[in-house]
Every structure is written in C-alpha cells, then in structure tokens.
Amino acid sequence: MGFLNREYECMPREELKKLQDERLKDTVRRSYENVECFRKRMDEKGLKPEDIRGVEDLHLLPFSYKQDLRDYYPYGLFAVPMKDVKRVHASSGTTGKRIVVGYTEEDLDMWGECVGRMMASLGVTDEDIVQVSFGYGLFTGGFGLHSGAEKVGAMVIPISSGNTANQIQTMIDFGATVLCCTPSYAMYMGEEVERLGVKDQLKLRIGIFGAEPWSENMRRQIEEKLGIRAYDIYGLSEVLGPGVSCECEAQAGMHVWEDHFIVETINPETGEVLPEGEPGELVFTSLTKQAFPVIRYRTRDICTLINKPCSCGRTHIRMGKPNGRTDDMLIIRGVNVFPSQIEEVLLRVSGDQITPNYQIVVDRVNNVDTFDINVEMSESFFSDDIKSIEKLERNITEQLRSMLGISAKVHLVNPKSIVRSEGKAKRVIDHRAGKI
Amino acid sequence: MIVQQLSVFLENKKGRICAAADVLAQNSINIRALSLADTSEFGILRLIVDRPEEGKQALTDAGIVVRVTKVLALTMNDTPGGTLGVLRLLSESGISVEYMYACVGKTTGKAFMIIQAEDLENAEAILQRNGFEQADLSEL
C-alpha cells in the first residue's frame, strides 16, 4: 500500500547483499574493538575482524546468548561511549537479574523506521490516530510502536496497557484508527466491545499485535470483533524491540528488515545453519546498531524462513510465526517468564513454610492467559490459623509479582501432592495449545 | 472442657472435603461436629471426632495435612439466648473469640458450643466459674 523507504525495502537482492557485506564488516569491527565479550570469543576461535569478508563468512562468527547480557550487566556489551547512549530498555532475564539494552540516537531513529515501514505498508499515514496500548516503560513495546507511529506522522495516543473500559472509551472518544497491543489483549478488548455493543462507534481499521504467540484463527476473531485488519509484529529487546520483523499488507509472514539485520535459522543442538524453509532456531545479527550491536544472537525461538518474493514488492526475507522455544521460557500475557525465576522466589521463602516443589499451570480462559502456581505447604507450617496461611500466600504472590512483572495466583497445596514422574515433578503445565 | 479438634487443610479443589471424610469413614471414625472455614484460595475443615489421635494418623497417612488443636467445648441450653449468654460472658471478660461453631446434642434441650479463643485456659476457668457445664462428648 505504502512505503516509508521504498529504495531500501525493495532493494534488489544482489544489491542488498552488498550492503549487508559492508555493514556486517563494520559491525564486526566495531564490536571487536569495543566489546570485550565478543573480542574474547573471536580470539578463542583465532578470528580477526578482517577474516570476515561478507555474509558468506557469517557462519564463522561465534554465537551470542541471553546469558551474556547477565554476565555483562548492565552496560558491559555496549559498543559506544556512555555519553552516546540516549536510552536504555530492560526486560527480565532467566533469573532475578534484568537484562539491559541501549540505544544511540541513530539506533532510536532506525528502530522508529523499522516499525514505521510496517505502518506505512499498512497504509497508516499522518491522517491516522494510533492508540498504543502496549506497556510504556522499560519494556520495549510501548516506545517501539510509539516511535513507528511518529515516523509516519500519525497522532499517537500513548495510553499504555490496562484499564480496558478506559481503553475502549478513549478509542471511541479520540477516534483511534490503529490499535497496538498484545493479541490476547486485543481479543479481550474485542469481547468487551461486543459486550458493550459499541463496535459501530469505533473508527479502528488496523491492528498491530505482537509480543506473544497467536494463531490465524485468533487473527480472524480479532478482525471480526473489532472490525479491523490485524497484523503481526515480532521483536525482542536484545535485538531491537518490536519491529525486527513485521507483516506487510499481504499478511503472509513477517519481513525481516535485511538492511538492518541478518537472520539465520540453525539447528539448536549443533549450531549448524539450516537451509531456508527448514524450521530452526532464529539467530539475528544486527548491521547498523551502534550502542548494542548483536552478532549471531540466539533467540531460542523456533521458526521457518520464507525466501520467496512477496506480493507487496518488498525483497526482504519473511519469517513465519515462531512456533516453539528451545528453552523453557513461557510467554504469559506478553511477558517472558522462566520457571527458574519462580524457583528463585520460592527458595527465598523459609523451608519451614513451603517445600521446594511447585507447579506452574498456564491456561487461556476467555482469551486471557491465566497463570497459577501451586506451591506445596510444609507439613509443619499448617496450623489452625487462617491468617498465617493467607499471609504466606500474599507474601509469595507479592515477591513473584515483583520478580516477574505480572501477577500469578498462588495456591498452597498439600505436601507431596504435586505429581512427580520418575522422581521429578513436572514444573509446567500449559493448557493453551489449541486455544491460541 | 478443653477438647482435641482436628483441623484439616483443604486445597481449593473439587472433592477435597469428600476425600477427608472418606478417610475418616474408612477408619470408622465418627464425626461429632464440624465446621468449614473457607477463603478464596483454601479452606480449613474443623472436626470434633470420637478418636482424634487415630483420625489424625489416618488423615496424615492419606497425605492430608492435619493438625490437632485445642478448643473449648461446652454445653448450653438449647433455648433463645443460649448462645448470647456464653458470648456476653466472654466479651465482658475481655476474651476474644477466634471462631466458634455449635451443634445440637443428643439430649433434648441441650446444645454444644465449640469455641476457639486466644486464652483457652482462662476462658475455660471463667465459664466454669459462671456455671457453664463442661460438655460430655458422648452427648454430642
């Protein structure tokens, strides 16, 4: 429908490759000079930046991992002087420590362009009013979509997430034409709109949804309930935030902006690069990022790449919806949750009160994720006193919320009641498959 | 008199009370009185049974968390104002009641009250001094 930067978005692949060659060499050089972690790994492999002559040498480069962000917390992986870092974002890591990423002014501009390209392709212009119902703050969702909307000159309603009644009233009163949030929240709002019977008062025509898995079926339902066309956006803070890849008007996979990122799929066991079209772990290399360049970053998302020309005219490769993880990360209400984080909280609670056994139960009820944690109470802790048990439950609930950033319902259960198989408890029960 | 009560922890799950009752029935333990306290997340089933120690063992063996707790059991007249008499006395004596439950006894005209209070011995002494009969559990 529209282009923000037609020259780059439709660049012939040969030319795109040349651009990637140059930008990759530059990224490797900058990282080698400024990032100790990367330099060490290159040295271990006996590699020098000049050994990388272009994209064909990408497979020689060492991988990088989420763990690196913890090891070098908070600023150890930044490749520019701190005075050039204009913003940080953060998200929860696999345990208590957050992971931090940084952006220079140029990076922020590039981020806005990545999201802006998507908006332009969907026909969002300066006539539009974009309601950003992603959370604003250290989470990249709110600011990411915000900057994309500004890039195409739209008016932004930075409402952030939560308070559904207010969201819908705002949408009606302010005449929002574009809605950005997680797909499950869009579904929930759609249901509220239906219940209130206010669909005809909405001016919405486009929805941009991401940060959690959703299906084609869910897309159709959201489109129907809100009277919009719904599009998928992908990203992760370590690589950029939302906008690493985006659907175009064709709704046929998300374009990875290849002038800014190289994407590979690999065998997560062997690290071997897979031919396009074979599902594997997504690995990203940034080409233009200054403050926080990533080289062969392992996302742990399982996905398939589509390297066929797209009807929209863009030459950039597409990826399907991620359909699995190589680790035990859960995405609950758009938030990344690792069982190890829950374990860490429970280990802080006295052993006289609970056992270390727990079980996470995730489900989707009325299109909203439910998140329950069963915790075994210690035999000796139980007394006849309701208040002390309630206090323990509240204490665990509070600590979990502060660790995870979302609320879980804590249920104390009888000791030894959590089912174990082969002596090991099954930690996660996810009933959402087939409901998304 | 101070008697032993079984306090049973109930997870917020279907069939938990039934499971506890089943264990007691299988061990021929008779429930004399019971009360159920519930919160949104769990419940506590409080029971007066004929053989508390055996009841505790049977429930524990079945993987159910149970505690033996002490409560006051007393007899009062099964007439209007019967409960009030007990409560007024405790209130005027400055004893707060944590929880209580009552049942009608086998003997006509008598009811039983089970009381949990912060200072059980003191509460017992006050009630005795004021002429409240100690419950005969066989009457329950």
What is the CATH number for B15? Answer: 3.30.2130.10
- What confidence tens digit (pLDDT) does each residue in A360-392 have? 999 988 888 999 999 988 888 888 888 899 999
Residue A126, Cβ density class (10 Å: 0-12 exposed, 13-18 middle, ≥19 buried): exposed
Boundary residue ending a domain (B20, B45, B69): B69
Boundary residue ending a domain (B38, B69, B100): B69
Supply the pLDDT for residue A425.
60
- Lowest-confidence segment of A79-88, A122-131, A206-215, A280-289 by average pLDDT: A206-215
- Residues of chain A with pLDDT > 90: what percent? 74
Contact call for B65 and A393, based on CB within 8 A? no
Taking the C-alpha atoms of residue A107 and residue A403, their distance in angstroms, rounded to an integer, is 29
Nearest CA in chain B to A375: B11
Supply the pLDDT for residue A331.
87
Residues of A in contact with B40 (CB under 8 A): none
Helices marked H in chain B — which ranges?
16-26, 52-61, 82-92, 120-129
Same domain assignment for residues B75 and B33: no
Q: How many domains does chain B have?
A: 2
Nearest CA in chain B to A412: B11
Supply the pLDDT for residue A373.
95
Same domain assignment for residues B82 and B126: yes
Q: How far apart are the first and last CA of chain A?
A: 29
- What confidence tens digit (pLDDT) does each residue in B17-49 have? 999 999 999 999 999 899 999 888 889 999 999
Omega of the bond prior to A74 within 30 degrees of 0, cis?
Answer: yes
Asked if the domains A6-325 and A331-430 are classified in one and the same CATH topology, the answer is: no
Convert B18-52 into a string of H (helix), E (strand) and C (coil).
Answer: HHHHHHHHHCCCCEEEEEEEECCCEEEEEEEECCH
- For range A41-52, the mean pLDDT: 97
Supply the pLDDT for residue A92.
66
Count the helices and strands in chain A (H runs, E runs).
11, 22
In contact, A319 and A303? CB cutoff 8 Å: yes
Same domain assignment for residues B111 and B53: no
Same domain assignment for residues B133 and B96: yes
Contact call for A413 and B116, based on CB within 8 A? no
In contact, B73 and B112? CB cutoff 8 Å: yes
Residue A424 has pLDDT above 60, yes or no: no
Nearest Cβ partner for B44 among A386, A410, A413: A386
Same domain assignment for residues B52 and B101: no
Same domain assignment for residues B88 and B51: no
What are the residue boundaries of the structural domains of chain A, listed by start? Answer: 6-325, 331-430
Pairing of strands A297-303, A87-92: unpaired
In contact, A229 and A122? CB cutoff 8 Å: yes
Taking the C-alpha atoms of residue A313 and residue B111, their distance in angstroms, rounded to an integer, is 86
Taking the C-alpha atoms of residue A201 and residue A194, their distance in angstroms, rounded to an integer, is 11
The pair phi, psi for residue A239, each rounded to 5°, is -90, -40
Nearest Cβ partner for B67 among A383, A412, A417: A383
In the chain, the amino acid numbered A348 is R
Taking the C-alpha atoms of residue A367 and residue A353, their distance in angstroms, rounded to an integer, is 34
- What confidence tens digit (pLDDT) does each residue in B75-106 have? 888 888 888 888 899 899 999 999 999 887 77
Q: Which of A394, A414, A417, A419 to mutate to test the interface with B (most CBs of B within 10 A)?
A: A414
Residue A246 has pLDDT above 80, yes or no: yes
- For range B102-122, the mean pLDDT: 84
Contact call for A417 and B67, based on CB within 8 A? no
Residue A333 has pLDDT above 90, yes or no: no
Helices marked H in A209-362 — which ranges?
216-226, 339-348
Nearest Cβ partner for B63 among A384, A390, A417: A417
Supply the pLDDT for residue B109.
78
Nearest CA in chain A to B13: A413
State the smallest CA–CA distance between residue A413 and chain B in angstroms: 6
Q: Which option is the CATH number for A6-325: 1.10.10.10, 3.50.50.60, 3.40.50.300, 3.40.50.12780?
A: 3.40.50.12780
Above 0.90 for ipTM, yes or no?
Answer: no
Q: Which of B39, B64, B65 to mutate to test the interface with A (most CBs of A within 10 A)?
A: B65
Nearest CA in chain B to A378: B65
Nearest Cβ partner for B11 among A393, A409, A411: A411
Confidence of residue A420 (pLDDT cuts 50, 70, 90): low
Cα A359 to chain centroid distance, Å, stands at 24
Give the A-side interface with B, CB within 8 Å.
377, 379, 382-384, 386, 389-390, 393, 409-417
- For range A93-113, the mean pLDDT: 88
**CATH assignment of A331-430?**
3.30.300.30
Residues of A in contact with B9 (CB under 8 A): 377, 382, 389, 412, 414
Nearest CA in chain B to A393: B41
Taking the C-alpha atoms of residue B12 and residue A432, their distance in angstroms, rounded to an integer, is 22
Burial B39-68 (b: 16+ CB within 10 A, else e): eebbbbbbbbbeebeebbebbeebebbbbe
State the smallest CA–CA distance between residue A369 and chain B in angstroms: 19
Nearest CA in chain A to B45: A384
Taking the C-alpha atoms of residue B49 and residue B32, their distance in angstroms, rounded to an integer, is 5
Domain of B123 in residue numbering reads as 71-139
- For range A239-244, the mean pLDDT: 97
Nearest Cβ partner for B11 among A393, A410, A413: A413
What is the torsional sign of CA A166, A171, A175, A179? positive
Q: Which of B5, B35, B38, B41 to mutate to test the interface with A (most CBs of A within 10 A)?
A: B41
Taking the C-alpha atoms of residue A292 and residue A86, their distance in angstroms, rounded to an integer, is 12
Residue A305 has pLDDT above 70, yes or no: yes
Contacts of A168 (CB under 8 A, 6+ apart): A189, A192, A193, A196, A198
Residue A422 has pLDDT above 70, yes or no: no
Supply the pLDDT for residue A18.
98
State the smallest CA–CA distance between residue A329 and chain B in angstroms: 27
Residues of B in contact with A409 (CB under 8 A): 41
- Lowest-confidence segment of A39-43, A317-321, A337-341, A387-391 by average pLDDT: A337-341
In contact, A209 and A232? CB cutoff 8 Å: yes
Taking the C-alpha atoms of residue A170 and residue A174, their distance in angstroms, rounded to an integer, is 6
Mean pLDDT of chain A: 92
Confidence of residue A341 (pLDDT cuts 50, 70, 90): confident
Supply the pLDDT for residue A233.
97
* Domain CATH code at residue B93: 3.30.70.260
In contact, A252 and A362? CB cutoff 8 Å: no
Boundary residue ending a domain (B30, B53, B69): B69
Contact call for A377 and B65, based on CB within 8 A? yes
Contact call for B64 and A414, based on CB within 8 A? yes
Mean pLDDT of chain B: 88
Same domain assignment for residues B37 and B86: no
The pair phi, psi for residue A163, each rounded to 5°, is 55, 75
Contact call for A382 and B67, based on CB within 8 A? yes
Angle at A166 between CA A161 and CA A168, to 5 degrees: 90
